[in-house]
């Protein structure tokens, strides 16, 4: 009889469940060491935390790979580091990247300011312009990048046609699914080749770490690992330990994010001071039908448009006590921020 494997919640706590030896610690040990004793005369790879082979880094990556149902994964110093290294692993000077135009402002700046400098051209296409995706593929196109759900409008992109296009043209499909976490959505099950996440957000969940991760095939992760060592992007062991600790409650936190997000969105939709609510769990959201099909839950992020514009928004923000005005998301506390001044500063009203 085929017994089902451990569920996501069990994996997030234990990785692959195993019997612990007597007297061993129940909580994982922190190896806060840059380097490890090297056997004399050994030509085995040395253990050095910049190489990502410190036990805290290794165990965390194995657990995340299991959650994403990937062959392999790797953690780096930030979500931006993960996005940068994932793209450097697949793109070369002269290549062309096709990117969704609905992306985090930091990612867009990375593409505009840095990929261009490396001789990599980027074309942005709105995910709802289905025909334009196909038209925008060039001979030099190597990869497609999509973020879903999007920051901050919570658009849930149908990866079906995009992954079909990628496969047809032999392109790598990279997906930033920070806003879902592997509990709500696993892009590799929907045709993506690479999943990128800012572990700063849901994975860690306690607003006390900056970290990022990528998952995909073993050869892709090996290339990211090579770049990580050379560009000096490894996650610090303590940050890895904290992310692992946060991930132990990922599944239960996501359940609560999903139910609280829905409650806030439904409340906001009835509120006379709010003109628009962006939450994929609401029937009024443009992607509600698709979101219901592909997401396990709609998440804890809600986009709000306040009647009365900037002045009314600032008045509202000044009255908040429990809710803190700070950028970032997905921690246990509730945060509110204005994308025009934070995540999407400098990239125009769209
Ligand atoms: C969707 C998305 N991707 C990537 C990042 C970058 O993550 P980090 O701040 O960990 O570098 C963010 C940050 O807000 C984000 O919202």
pLDDT on residue 5? 85
| Co-location of 233 and 260 in the same domain | no
Same-domain status, 199 and 320: no
Marked catalytic residue, from 104, 202, 244, 287: 104
Q: Are residues 254 and 225 in the same domain?
A: no
Please count the structural domains in the chain. 2
Beta carbons of 221 and 82 less than 8 angstroms apart: no
Question: Domain check: are 46 and 130 in the same one?
Answer: yes
Query: Do 221 and 278 belong to one domain?
Result: no
CA distance linking residue 251 with residue 12, whole number of Å:
7
- CATH code for position 174: 3.40.640.10
- Residue 1 in any domain: the answer is no
Query: Alpha-carbon distance 115 to 103, whole Å?
Result: 16
Q: How far is the CA of 237 from the centre of ligand 1 (A)?
A: 20
Q: Are residues 171 and 312 in the same domain?
A: no
DSSP 8-state class, residue 276 = E
Residues ≥6 apart with Cβ < 8 Å to 309: none
At 312, which helix (H) or strand (E)?
helix 309-319
**Domain match, 170 and 233 both:** yes
The verdict on 14 and 158 lying in the same domain is: yes
Q: How far is the CA of 343 from the centre of ligand 1 (A)?
A: 8
The answer to whether residue 342 sits within a structural domain is no
Active site residue 201: yes
The residue whose two tokens read 């770049």 is: 227
Q: Looking at the domain assignment, is residue 50 inside a domain?
A: yes
* Tens-binned pLDDT, residue by residue, of the chain (350 aa): 567 789 999 999 999 888 999 999 999 999 999 999 999 999 999 999 999 999 999 999 999 999 999 999 999 999 999 999 999 999 999 999 999 999 999 999 999 999 999 999 999 999 999 899 999 999 999 999 999 999 889 999 999 999 999 999 999 999 999 999 999 999 999 999 999 999 999 999 999 999 999 999 999 999 999 999 999 999 999 999 999 999 999 999 999 999 999 999 999 999 999 999 999 999 999 999 999 999 999 999 999 999 998 899 999 999 999 999 999 999 999 999 988 776 666 555 55
Same domain (yes/no): 293, 231? no
- Tell me: do 239 and 315 sit in the same domain: no
Tokens of 96: 């062309």
How is residue 88 written in tokens?
A: 């450097």
Same domain, 210 and 90: yes
- Ligand 1 atom closest to the CA of 200, numbered from 1: 10
Contact between 163 and 190 under an 8 Å Cβ cutoff? The reply is yes
Q: What is the pLDDT of residue 132?
A: 96
- Asked whether 202 and 254 are in contact (CB, 8 A), the reply is yes
pLDDT at 348: 54
Tell me: do 300 and 265 sit in the same domain: yes
Q: Would you say residue 13 lies in a domain?
A: yes
Residue 318: give the domain boundaries: 250-336
- Is 279 labeled as catalytic in the residue annotation? no
Quickly count helices (H) and strands (E) in the chain. 12, 11
Note the pLDDT of residue 344. Answer: 65
Q: Which residue has the tokens 């970032």?
A: 328
CATH number (domain holding residue 278): 3.90.1150.10
């Amino acid at each position: 009889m085929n017994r089902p494997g451990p569920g996501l919640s069990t994996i997030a706590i234990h990785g692959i469940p195993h019997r612990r030896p007597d007297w061993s610690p129940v909580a994982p040990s922190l190896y806060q060491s840059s380097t490890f004793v090297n056997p004399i005369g050994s030509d085995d790879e040395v253990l050095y935390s910049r190489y990502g082979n410190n036990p805290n880094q290794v165990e965390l990556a194995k657990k995340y790979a299991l959650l994403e149902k990937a062959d392999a994964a790797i953690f780096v110093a930030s979500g931006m580091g993960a996005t940068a290294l994932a793209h450097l692993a697949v793109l070369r000077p002269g290549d062309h990247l096709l990117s969704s135009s609905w992306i985090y402002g930091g990612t867009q700046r990375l593409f505009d300011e840095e990929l261009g400098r490396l001789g990599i051209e980027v074309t942005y296409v709105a995910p709802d312009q289905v025909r334009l995706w196909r038209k925008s593929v060039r001979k030099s196109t190597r990869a497609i990048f999509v973020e879903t759900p999007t920051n901050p409008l919570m658009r849930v992109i149908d990866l079906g046609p995009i992954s079909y296009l990628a496969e047809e043209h032999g392109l790598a499909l990279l997906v930033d699914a920070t806003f879902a976490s592997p509990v709500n959505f696993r892009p590799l099950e929907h045709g993506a080749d690479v999943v990128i996440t800012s572990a700063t957000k849901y994975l860690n969940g306690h607003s006390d770490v900056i970290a990022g991760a990528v998952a995909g095939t073993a050869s892709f992760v090996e290339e990211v690992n090579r770049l990580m060592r050379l560009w000096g992007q490894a996650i610090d062991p303590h940050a890895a330990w904290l992310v692992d600790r946060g991930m132990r409650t990922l599944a239960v936190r996501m359940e609560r994010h999903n139910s609280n997000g829905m409650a806030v969105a439904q409340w906001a939709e009835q509120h006379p001071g709010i003109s628009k609510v962006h939450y994929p769990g609401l029937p009024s959201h443009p992607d509600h039908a698709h979101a219901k099909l592909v997401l396990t839950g709609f998440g804890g992020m809600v986009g709000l448009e306040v009647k009365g514009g900037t002045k009314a928004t600032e008045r509202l923000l000044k009255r908040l006590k429990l809710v803190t005005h700070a950028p970032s998301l997905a921690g246990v506390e509730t945060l509110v921020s204005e994308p025009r001044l934070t995540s999407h500063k400098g990239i125009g009203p769209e």
